[in-house]
Amino acid sequence: MKKLFLAGLLLAGASAQAQSVTEVQALTRRLNELARNPDEPTTEVRAQLSNCHFTEVIRKYRTEASGAGTFQVSHQKNGADWAVKSDNKVEFELRMGVEWSQVTALTFAPAHDNETNRRYYEIKITRRPPGKDDTTTLEMPVYTTDEAVVRDLVQRLEKVRRSCGTKG
């Protein structure tokens, strides 16, 4: 009887983990769909969620061939990372990442693009490194005017954050 119970617990855990992976993939897909600014076809903003880490990638693609040189700079320290690079296809790429365990707040706020008069939302991910008083905030655009959609995304991100054993 104990073996059957243990097998049931293991199967339930595996099923929950598979469901969690599927949910994270669906959330990532939805974030990336909404982060695409239709007024900026050469700019891409993407979210990557993996191993209790959130990464935002912003790429500006070249519209014409350029003789610009290749460069790459990166930094990783205390659960956060960033990198900047350029090559023949990408004019500029910025990566910013945080460990969910250091995220103290997930919020959203309305935003406005003055050039296009487009209204959208920004998801704000606030990070506080352990033992420090300063915070940093990543802002990810979400091109929708539907607050309920953004609220749902933030709640789903919060669920992912909590599943990583964060405090707060």
Domain extent listing, the chain: 2-163
Q: Is the dihedral of CA 33, 123, 43, 21 positive or negative?
A: negative
User: What residues contact 129, with CB distance under 8 A and at least 6 apart?
Assistant: 78, 79, 80, 102
- Type and span of the H or E element at 62: none
The per-residue pLDDT for 12 is 39
Contact 90, 72 (CB under 8 A): no
Q: How confident is residue 6, by pLDDT bands cut at 50, 70 and 90?
A: very low
- Is the model's pLDDT at 14 over the cut of 70? no
* Section 114-118 average pLDDT: 89
* Section 94-113 average pLDDT: 93
Q: Which of 59-63, 114-118, 149-153 has the largest mean confidence?
A: 149-153
The per-residue pLDDT for 76 is 74
DSSP class per residue in 101-121:
GGEEEEEEEEEEETTTTEEEE
Q: How confident is residue 65, by pLDDT bands cut at 50, 70 and 90?
A: low
Residue 126: CB atoms within 10 A of its CB come to 16
Residue 83: CB atoms within 10 A of its CB come to 16
